[in-house]
Amino acid sequence: MAQPIDPTRVISGNYGYVYDESGRWLANVTSFNATYDYAKEDVPRAGTRRVGKKTMTIEGTGSMMFHKVSSYFIDKVLSATANESAPFLTELNVKLEDPENGGTERWRIKGVQFDNAPLINFEVGSLMEEEYNFTFDDHELVERIEE
């Protein structure tokens, strides 16, 4: 008979880490997500009223939220605004672990290009955060958490 999950095995986001392409820990990242979106087209089928679906394209999108502590990352993203430079293309390495779970999951997010460059934003009495949205071409699951 199936048993309820052990609640200590549920991963805490407190142990999520993001590293840039040079291996630098972006310690001020407070949230990260990367997702594939599947664009499908309807496929009418003979002999049924039910419409099938066919995946036509796949798009990788994501976002990162940062505590504002320096200009390090905005300088990298803004390099794409120079007329003589190519768009900033990078790779992000993400690690998720939890001492209670005992496992580690690592992802390489490849071909990352940023959709925005948050120049300046502040609110008196608030901690400053920056959100970076991005697209990506590919991924690699480098290490997985086993059951």
CB-based burial label for 132 (10 Å; 0-12, 13-18, 19+)? buried
Confidence of residue 23 (pLDDT cuts 50, 70, 90): very high
Q: 102 lies in a domain?
A: yes
Q: 60 lies in a domain?
A: no
Full-model pTM? 0.88
Which helix or strand (DSSP H or E) is residue 29 part of? strand 29-43
Q: 59 lies in a domain?
A: no
Tokens of 39: 């664009």
pLDDT at 31 over 80: yes
What's the rounded Cα separation, in Å, for the pair 99 and 82?
Answer: 44
pLDDT at 86 over 90: no
Give the whole-number percent of the chain exceeding pLDDT 70: 100
pLDDT at 85 over 80: no
Confidence of residue 142 (pLDDT cuts 50, 70, 90): very high
Per-residue pLDDT at 125 = 96
Q: 87 lies in a domain?
A: yes
Q: Say which DSSP state 11 is in.
A: P
Confidence of residue 84 (pLDDT cuts 50, 70, 90): confident
Q: Does residue 23 come out as left (phi exceeding 0), alpha (psi in the -120 to 50 range) or beta?
A: left
Q: 1 lies in a domain?
A: no
Q: 77 lies in a domain?
A: yes
What is the pLDDT of the chain when averaged over all its residues? 93
Q: 46 lies in a domain?
A: no
Which helix or strand (DSSP H or E) is residue 147 part of? none
Give the whole-number percent of the chain exceeding pLDDT 90: 73
What DSSP letter does each residue of 67-108 carry, written as one string? E---SHHHHHHHGGGSTTS---EEEEEEEEE-TTT--EEEEE
Q: 54 lies in a domain?
A: no
CB-based burial label for 78 (10 Å; 0-12, 13-18, 19+)? middle
Domain that residue 17 falls in: 7-30+68-130+138-143
Q: How many domains does one find in the chain?
A: 1
